[in-house]
Structures are given as C-alpha cells and as structure tokens.
Amino acid sequence: MAHKRRVEVEAILALAVASAALIRARGAGSPLWPSSWRDIVVLSALPLAVALAVGVRLARRWSFAGRATRALIEIGLSSGGRQPRLVRARRRGKTWDLAWRMPVGVSASTVLRRRDEIEEALDVSADFWYERGLVHMCAAAGQLPDRVAFSDFYSRPRPKPAGRLPIGIGVTRHGPLWTDLADLPHLLVGGQTNSGKSAFIRQLLTWAVLTNTPEDLRLGLIDLKGGLEFNVFERLPHMLNPVARDLDGCLELMEVLLAELDQRQAALNRLGAESIRRWNSAGSGRHLPYVLVVVDEMAELSAVESSNRDEKGRRQAALASVSRICRLGRATGFHVIVSTQRPDAEAVPGQIKANIPATVAFRVRSAINSRILLGEDNAGAATLPPLPGRGIWQFDNEARFQSIWLDKRAAEAALAPLVAQAAGTERVTPCLPGRWQSQL
C-alpha cells in the first residue's frame, strides 16, 4: 500500500514539473506554445485535476480504515495513552483487509472479546487473527439476505468445494458458506422453536442424498420430538433403519450403529488402515459408505428428565452410545449431527460437546444458552434478529449467516425420483451385523 501511494504522489509531481517546464521552455514562436491564456490555464490545471482524482480515491480507500481505527479506540482498545496504529489497508470488493500494531497490553484475544462491539459499530462481519506482530481484521460489509432459497444456493455458478461430503451452510457477508462433513466430523445445531433448525437439517439431508448414492452414504435418523420432520426421508434407499421416534427405536438403531462401528474398526486394524478413505481406496473388501446420524431432539435423552430408574438407565445408555460414536466415528466414517432447542448442560453433556467441534447456533432465549453453544463470553446467539434461518457458524472461524431454506413440499418433489427408484426393492441395510464379515 505504501509503495502504491508513493507512486501516485510521484506521478502527480512529475506531471506538475513537466507542465511548468513546458510553459517556461517553449517560446512564443514554438508551434506547441499555447495560443491563449485559456490554454495556459487548462495546461496548468491538469496536474491539479489528477491530484484531486487521486485524493478522492485515497479518501475512499482509507475512509473505512479510519472509521475502524476510531472504533477500536472508542471501544477502549488503548493502553497507557497509546492507541492502535493502522499499518495496512486493502479493499477487495465489499471486503476490507486491515492490520494494526496494537499497544502493549492489548492482545489479539482482547480484541476478539470485543468482536461483537466492533461489528456493530462498523456494521460488518469480521474475522480477527494475530500474525507477525500485527492484529489483522478481514471485514465484509455486504448485507445478509432475509432468505436463501435451496435452488438458488445450489444452482448458482460456483467452484464446488473440495471434500467427500460437502454441504451448504448458507450465505455470509463474504458470500456462500460451505463445509465438508467428513472433515468436521460432527455438528451441533441449537436454537429455540421456529428459529430455523428443522429447515436447516432438511436442506442439508436433501442435498446430501441428492449428491451421494446409497453406496456412498447411509442415514440413521432419530426424531425424539415425535413429529413428522423426517417422514420425507423414510422411504429413501439411503436409510439404515426406519426413523426412530422414541427411546426404544433410538436404542435399536444405536445397537446397529455400534455393531457396525466395531466391525469397521476391526477391519481397519487388520488392514493397517487409519481411515475409511484408506480402506475404500485400497479395494480390500466391500466399499464402505459414510454413515450420517442425526439426533433431533437431544434433550429427550437427558436422564434428568426421568424419575423412573429403568428409563433413566436406558437414556444414559443412549447418551453413552451417541458419545462413543462421536469419539470413535471419524476414522470409520460415522458423522453425527445433534440438534436441540434447549442447549443446556443436561441436554448436551460435556463429554459429547467436547467431541463436536462445529456449531450452528440459531436464535436462543438467553445469553446462558448462547454461551453453552458458542463458548464462554459469547452471547451472540441471544442477540440474533428474530428471522428464521439467521444463525452463527462456528468452526475454524465464526460468521453470521442466513441459512438455506427448503420447505417440506419442495423436499418431497426433489426426492421423489429417489423414492420411486427404491419402491418395490428390498431395504438396503448393508451395515447390519454379520452381513459382510465374510468379505473382509
């Protein structure tokens, strides 16, 4: 940036010197000598016009950087009378890349704790990091849409993200947000009623089965709210078992999943493979599909909710199964999505939360719920606007986004060809115990 500004200033000075030299050196008899005072004025004003244009350009470039620096100062990110010093500013479309040298005593973690205040002051979505003595900020000033249609998001021209199970999350101020379920490897989705959880999971599952055959992806769905949210997926060839809608069905499905997990672990150990990807590429046996397990509503497995000793023990067994899959499932191709509208410590126990690194937080009722989802000192989910689908994504970074909307009727229409393809055929259950041991 400094080099570019120096070049611009030197160009202005060169034009001014050249104009003055031309006026002074050319005589009246020269054919290039201005014929009137009007020509002389125009020729002299040329460098001033160039200087004005460059000045406007620099003012536009540095106006946001100046506001950002003032915001840091007003928020209190100063120390010992010293203030943040802007050393770098670059604009790419609606995105700004800024870097400051912070005064001693103001760390990058201090800036991160004031992130919400900075974003509100500048009306941007910002990422912060520390590198080579500078605190960097990447700020996107674009506006979030109120709704993102499934067809619009997935049909827009885009470089398809690399990954084995890529799915769309939504749209941030920076643009489309994608992730790879195989890399996460598990996801926690939280938010109050009507915040957008069900539509988010519906679009995620729909896209996953539309882009993966039953040989590559299987589903294990648990709907403990007793609703009809997963009915649209029930007749797909990707299903392992019928949708589990109560504790008995959940325990039955967990038994199938854990038996498959154990078999896969034994098979990988015999081959000396560290992951399902290595197993499939080695061609040492039957191709193993990824298994996506979705639990909605996680709070129904809380043992605190039951006073009956037997039922409490069964709930604890179901929680222990979910926890084991989260701990050991990544290498064997198991990926878990846990959803809850009551994100408290009982609904999402610490041993499960510790093994789920990615979070989608929709609007919640209190700052306490937000901190359970997003971490200490992060009440952002409690301050989200009451728009269905507005949420916060947290994994390797954090960003506010508008999730992808897909209603039940549209999901049924999109999945109808797959349902028709599976009609009249035997249910595909390749992961039942004992079905493929002879192939290892």
Q: Does residue 85 sit in the same domain as residue 125?
A: yes
For the chain, helix (H) and strand (E) counts, in that order, are: 12, 14
Nearest alpha-carbon partner for 83 in 104, 55, 109, 114: 104
In this prediction, residue 43 carries a pLDDT of: 57
Rounded CA-CA distance 401/424 in Å is: 41
Q: Does residue 96 sit in the same domain as residue 171?
A: no
Residue that terminates a domain, selected from 140, 172, 203: 140
Highest average pLDDT, of 54-68, 148-162, 182-196, 221-235, comes from 182-196
* Tens of pLDDT, residues 118-159: 888 888 888 888 888 899 988 887 788 899 999 999 987 665
In this prediction, residue 426 carries a pLDDT of: 41
**Number of domains composing the chain:** 2
Q: What is the mean pLDDT of the chain?
A: 81
Highest average pLDDT, of 239-248, 268-277, 282-291, 417-426, comes from 239-248
* pLDDT value at 161 more than 70: no
- Percent of the chain residues past pLDDT 70, beyond the cut: 79
In this prediction, residue 422 carries a pLDDT of: 60
- What confidence tier does 413 reach under pLDDT thresholds 50, 70, 90? very high
Angle, helices 247-271 vs 309-332, to 10°: value is 30
Average pLDDT value for residue range 352-369: 90
- Percent of the chain residues past pLDDT 90, beyond the cut: 31
Average pLDDT value for residue range 404-411: 93
pTM: 0.75
227 compared with 204, residue with greater pLDDT: 204
197 compared with 47, residue with greater pLDDT: 197
CATH number at residue 177: 3.40.50.300
Average pLDDT value for residue range 29-51: 59
421 compared with 133, residue with greater pLDDT: 133
Q: Are strands 217-223 and 390-394 parallel, antiparallel or unpaired?
A: unpaired
Q: What is the DSSP annotation of 308-374? A: -HHHHHHHHHHHHHHHHHHHHHHHHTEEEEEEESS-STTTS-HHHHTT--EEEEE--SSHHHHHHHH
- What confidence tier does 260 reach under pLDDT thresholds 50, 70, 90? very high
Cα–Cα–Cα angle for 82, 87, 92, nearest 5°? 135
Rounded CA-CA distance 427/293 in Å is: 18
In this prediction, residue 357 carries a pLDDT of: 92
Q: Does residue 132 sit in the same domain as residue 153?
A: no
In this prediction, residue 427 carries a pLDDT of: 43
In this prediction, residue 59 carries a pLDDT of: 54
Q: Does residue 373 sit in the same domain as residue 235?
A: yes
Q: Does residue 316 sit in the same domain as residue 429?
A: yes
* pLDDT value at 13 more than 70: no
Please answer whether residues 391 and 360 qualify as being in contact, where contact means their C-beta atoms are separated by less than 8 angstroms: yes
- What confidence tier does 19 reach under pLDDT thresholds 50, 70, 90? low
114 compared with 3, residue with greater pLDDT: 114
CATH number at residue 126: 3.30.980.40
In this prediction, residue 278 carries a pLDDT of: 87
* pLDDT value at 284 more than 70: no
Q: What is the DSSP letter of 283?
A: T
Average pLDDT value for residue range 224-240: 86
User: Phi/psi at 403 (nearest 5 deg)?
Assistant: -75, 170
In this prediction, residue 21 carries a pLDDT of: 58
* pLDDT value at 41 more than 80: no
In this prediction, residue 203 carries a pLDDT of: 96
Burial class of residue 387, CB neighbours in 10 A (0-12, 13-18, 19+): middle
20 compared with 357, residue with greater pLDDT: 357
Q: Does residue 133 sit in the same domain as residue 236?
A: no
First vs last C-alpha separation in the chain: 61
Q: Does residue 108 sit in the same domain as residue 157?
A: no
- What confidence tier does 53 reach under pLDDT thresholds 50, 70, 90? low
Q: Does residue 239 sit in the same domain as residue 354?
A: yes
Q: Does residue 37 sit in the same domain as residue 168?
A: no
Which residues share a beta bridge with 96? 91, 139
Q: Does residue 297 sit in the same domain as residue 164?
A: yes
Q: What is the DSSP annotation of 155-222? A: HS--PPPPSSSEEEEEEETTEEEEEETTTS--EEEE--TTSSHHHHHHHHHHHHHHSS-TTTEEEEEE
Parent domain of 131? 2-140
* pLDDT value at 425 more than 50: no
The position carrying tokens 């100063």 is 78
Please answer whether residues 261 and 283 qualify as being in contact, where contact means their C-beta atoms are separated by less than 8 angstroms: no
The 10 Å Cβ neighbour count of residue 8 is: 16
Residue that terminates a domain, selected from 83, 115, 140: 140
Q: Which of 28-32, 204-208, 391-395 has the lowest mean pLDDT?
A: 28-32
Average pLDDT value for residue range 61-80: 83
In this prediction, residue 3 carries a pLDDT of: 44
Please answer whether residues 319 and 347 qualify as being in contact, where contact means their C-beta atoms are separated by less than 8 angstroms: no
In this prediction, residue 430 carries a pLDDT of: 47
Residue that terminates a domain, selected from 140, 159, 185: 140
Rounded CA-CA distance 330/338 in Å is: 15
Nearest alpha-carbon partner for 233 in 292, 169, 301, 177: 292
**C-alpha to C-alpha distances, 57 to 16, 54, 89, 248, 294, nearest whole angstrom:** 19, 5, 13, 67, 52
Q: Does residue 61 sit in the same domain as residue 136?
A: yes
Average pLDDT value for residue range 401-415: 93
Q: Does residue 111 sit in the same domain as residue 176?
A: no
- What confidence tier does 175 reach under pLDDT thresholds 50, 70, 90? confident
* Tens of pLDDT, residues 322-354: 999 999 999 899 999 999 887 777 778 888 888
